[in-house]
Chain A
Amino acid sequence: MNRRTLLLALGVGVPAGSALGWGLSEWMLRSKRASAPRSSGMQQPIGSPFALVDHTGQRVTDATYAGQVRLVFFGFTHCPDVCPTGLGYIAEVLDGLAPQEAAAVRPLFISVDAGRDSPELLASYVTNFHPTLIGLTGTEEEVAQAAKAFRSYYNKVPTGGDSYVMEHTASIYLVGADDMLRGFLDTHEPVPTAVAKIRLALGSAALGAAKAEDRSS
């Protein structure tokens, strides 16, 4: 009942519109790729290899999360605005999914600030946003390799004294269970749009809609 209401509420405008937008942007990227083969497009394998440590202190690699739909966001804990905005958005999106759907998604926050972001600091940081959020960090080299695996950019910018900020790719990667880049979430888009994108990646969108239709007929 709950689920059906949710589906109905989302049913008309948002998924149709966002699916259209999604398809369109994918198509545009594809056609762009045809003329510029080196541009990073959709449906390319992404995110390997890497070896990092999670916020509980466990060593992990790309294989740890292989076969699962992933949301991947690069940032740093000292980032006051863009990172909390991205992580807050991810938290809202996860809460917008049905529990069994959310349980099938691995949200990864990869620190680009190896110098300051220890697993222990990440633990106190990520759990503020969502209980399922996973913080990853490592040595400078490990972090650099992880960023490279996702074709992600970051750079240290001194801000006077020994303080600094990191500039970094702010996209939220949506990676399919097949390790393909399915696209990006955009914090300017309404949460239901991101939910619809993830459902597409989970392959549960069609399934859920069919179920709702079954029940109403």
Chain B
Amino acid sequence: MKRRTFVAALPCMVASGASAQAQPGLFAENAWSRPALARIGTAVVYLSLRNGGSQPVRLLGGSTPVAERVEIHESVVEGRVARMRARPGGVVVPPGGVIRFEPSGLHLMLIKPAADLKAGQGFTLTLNFENGATFAVPVQVAMREPAAGHGAAH
């Protein structure tokens, strides 16, 4: 509850120009990333996508100045074994629904970060939707999920 208030009060998502019209009521919340080493070549972004509109929205991927590519992946833990698979078809956010990109689940994977990502720094991630809409989301680099404890709303 507290978390949602915090999120609502914070303009986490900035609609970029014309695309704001294309997708009213779509919010990206709590976007954060973990510290990462450029030489290792992968980084991650977590966020929640809330669709307050009346139409389903499909997220196809994104881009960011801090990495070569952004892909949608999903980690699946089955029988104690963790696997990761790409979701090239993207992810649909149903009307009135929320899709959470969160640790050990759906995540946005940054391929080949240009430089190390350090806790406390911020960057922009642009989300690309099937309907042509794009959103620039500010992302915070942190060791753990900011402003939310473990075991918050599952």
Which A residues are closer than 8 A to B by beta carbons? 77-82, 84-85, 88-89, 91-92, 121, 124-125, 128-129, 153, 157, 159, 165, 167-171, 187-191
Inter-chain CA distance A171–B39, complex, in Å, is 26
Contacts of B84 in A (CB 8 A): 79-82, 165, 167
Among A80, A82, A92, A153, the most chain B Cβ lie within 10 Å of the Cβ of: A80
Please give me the residue from chain A that is nearest to B110 by CB atom.
A80
Inter-chain CA distance A169–B107, complex, in Å, is 19
A167-B83, A168-B82 known; 20 other A-B pairs, CB under 8 Å? A77-B40, A78-B41, A80-B43, A80-B110, A81-B44, A81-B103, A81-B109, A82-B82, A82-B104, A88-B143, A91-B143, A92-B150, A121-B39, A153-B81, A157-B83, A167-B81, A169-B82, A170-B77, A171-B80, A188-B104
Among B104, B107, B109, the most chain A Cβ lie within 10 Å of the Cβ of: B104
Enumerate B98-154 residues with CB–CB distance to A below 8 Å: 103-104, 107, 109-110, 143-144, 149-151, 154
Contacts of B42 in A (CB 8 A): 78-80
Is the beta-carbon distance between A190 and B40 smaller than 8 angstroms?
no
Among A88, A153, A187, the most chain B Cβ lie within 10 Å of the Cβ of: A88
Enumerate B1-57 residues with CB–CB distance to A below 8 Å: 34-37, 39-44
Inter-chain CA distance A157–B81, complex, in Å, is 13
Contacts of B144 in A (CB 8 A): 88, 92
Return 27 A-B CB contacts under 8 Å, by A number. Answer: A77-B40, A78-B42, A79-B42, A80-B44, A80-B107, A81-B73, A81-B104, A82-B77, A82-B84, A82-B103, A84-B103, A88-B34, A89-B150, A91-B143, A121-B39, A121-B40, A124-B37, A125-B37, A125-B40, A128-B35, A129-B143, A165-B84, A167-B83, A168-B81, A170-B77, A189-B151, A190-B150
Contacts of B83 in A (CB 8 A): 157, 167
Contacts of B154 in A (CB 8 A): 188
